[in-house]
Amino acid sequence: MEKVSIVVPVYNAGNYLEQAVRSLLKQSYKNREIILVDDGSKDSSAKIMQHFANVYGIKCIFQENQGVGAARNAGISAASGRYVTFMDSDDKVDSDFIQSYMDVIHEAPYAVAGGYCVSFNGGPLKEKVITKERLKIMKAPSACFRLFDVDWLKENNLFFGNYKIGEDLNLSGKAQLLYPEYSLTTKATYHYFVRPGSLVGTSDDSQFELLDAVADLEDFAKAKDLFEQNEAELEYMVISHVLMAAMKRAAEGNVLDKALTLIPNFVYKIHPKWYENPYIEIYADEAEKLYLQAVQKNDEVGMRAYAENHW
């Protein structure tokens, strides 16, 4: 039974951290270690972490604020397990979270959760299903939905970049480019909560760091001679996560005026004919298709209507 390390970056998560850690302590898979990485919290997080370290022997790391990517990288470096996965400090998981990965991990260097439950701003949980085909175009790139072989990550120099948004997409995209034959679980065991005041609602320009993360991923694909055979998938990833999702985040974060120019210009620069992508017809719903037509026509009214609509 191989050990699994679960890395949890922590930043001002005092209101939720105990629930998150206790869900990890209840895992049916017992050969696991929990690594909490405090990234310069200013609330009660460090005190809660110390309690779990004293009572349960949980490994704790304390560092100055460097961002979630650096916190996760510190966790990878400290991991003693053969495999590593990640969890956000305000989420929780079911008791078979790790076991569901271990049931399939031997098929490939990394496994992916087949689904997750999401709640926006305290609303009801909705189950999201991930299939192999949808995953191919990075519809759900969160590292929290993946289990990685630690040595494989290190051998391929796969670590998180220092982006406030986009670090998951960057790493998961590189992993998928290098090894597309991942294993897929069948259960939705991860509970992801989007809360008021979370990163989704940030009102500064740091959310545009997603563009840097995407550009780096595409440069990686070209450097590894993996761009041409994956161009359609990478392009739709840009359409989905930058042109669509990032525009909604910009509206929630009160930076929509800047995004209406910055985001389309970025997409046209790296994929001049993005509107011809074959996955648009397959995966975009009617509201998304109308929005993409508005982008193509530079119709600001249509773009705003989509961006300001609720998720």
| pLDDT of 202 | 54
Q: Are 138 and 176 in contact (CB under 8 A)?
A: yes
Average pLDDT, the chain: 93
C-alpha span between 194 and 203 (Å, rounded): 16
| Phi, psi angle pair for 93, to nearest 5° | -135, 160
- For 123, other C-beta atoms within 10 Å of its C-beta total 12
SS3 86: strand
For residue 227, pLDDT beyond 70 = yes
Instruction: Tell the residue number behind the tokens 């985001």, with chain if given.
Output: 263
| pLDDT of 199 | 45
| Res. 164 pLDDT band, cuts 50 70 90 | confident
**Element of type H or E holding 194:** strand 188-194
Total number of residues shown for the chain: 311
Q: Quick one: the chain helix, strand, coil %, rounded to 5? A: 50, 15, 35
For the chain, the distance separating the N- and C-terminal CA atoms, rounded to the nearest angstrom, is 41
Q: How much of the chain exceeds pLDDT 70, in percent? A: 96
**What are 93's strand-pairing partners?**
190
Q: Are 75 and 7 in contact (CB under 8 A)?
A: yes
For residues 121-148, average pLDDT? 85
For residues 207-212, average pLDDT? 94
For residues 75-80, average pLDDT? 97
| pLDDT of 196 | 61
Q: What is the pLDDT of residues 238-295, one digit of tens each?
A: 999 999 999 999 998 889 999 999 999 999 999 999 999 999 999 999 999 999 999 9
Of 71-75, 117-121, 169-173, least confident by mean pLDDT is 117-121
| pLDDT of 178 | 95
For residues 37-47, average pLDDT? 96
What counts of helices (H) and strands (E) characterise the chain? 14, 11
| pLDDT of 245 | 93
For residue 234, pLDDT beyond 80 = yes
For residues 125-154, average pLDDT? 88
pTM (predicted TM-score): 0.93
- Domain residue limits, the chain: 4-199, 202-307
Query: In angstroms, how far is CA 1 from the centroid of its own chain?
Result: 27
Q: Are 309 and 301 in contact (CB under 8 A)?
A: no
Regarding the domain delimited by 4-199, which CATH topology (the fold level of the hierarchy) does it fall under?
A: Spore Coat Polysaccharide Biosynthesis Protein SpsA; Chain A (3.90.550)
